Chains A and B, each alone.
Chain A
């Protein structure tokens, strides 16, 4: 489903690649957690898989060449960035921000249909953010905003879910709640790749842990089902 061969990515103006010679294959329906210290290249790897960052090497996602079909692929990937923020006057409502997650999928010159609104509503119910739907997105707490960003990614009904530090702004209860929800989505067949720095937050259903250090994969462990 996701295949990276000798992939390196270097930010403009930098001399050392943020990730180098990454070889990685993720099968459909896998739940992978990427761990490593700050600056190890975890976020870079997620952005590379999503095609948001230019890279060298061969990347194939959902059977398509990422460089040739970047937009097509991104329409099928749900992406939750690390610590997204917006100021208190940001002129967007929660329900609109979540709906925007589907805009790429809806396509050009088409308006959101009744089905699109229905999917958005179900996603809001799933993540318990229905009561926030008419709130301005800039007025949310860090934890609420994090849930909304996850809802936005899920509203797309993605084939792959990329999560960058999804628990960073959540309290313990919300963390466990979201962790269970991600696990339930994975149980229904969703491929999940999650970046995390705190190993204690890795959901129990995760069966593969990849460690990145200095831009290289230093360990790739598949856990046995107990």
Chain B
């Protein structure tokens, strides 16, 4: 695995609470969750840069909602 670097992250209380809730629900450490979130974000950003759109689809109604990325 590639060499790793350490950083300090400043989060507000609600942001930290959201991070901790997600970590608990997904059974992941904060580092793992943020690494996976970065991959997902970068993967979506690449598709959006290529002019593609990212959708969520309701499995029953098949209704699609476009995901807005900041």
* A associates with B: no
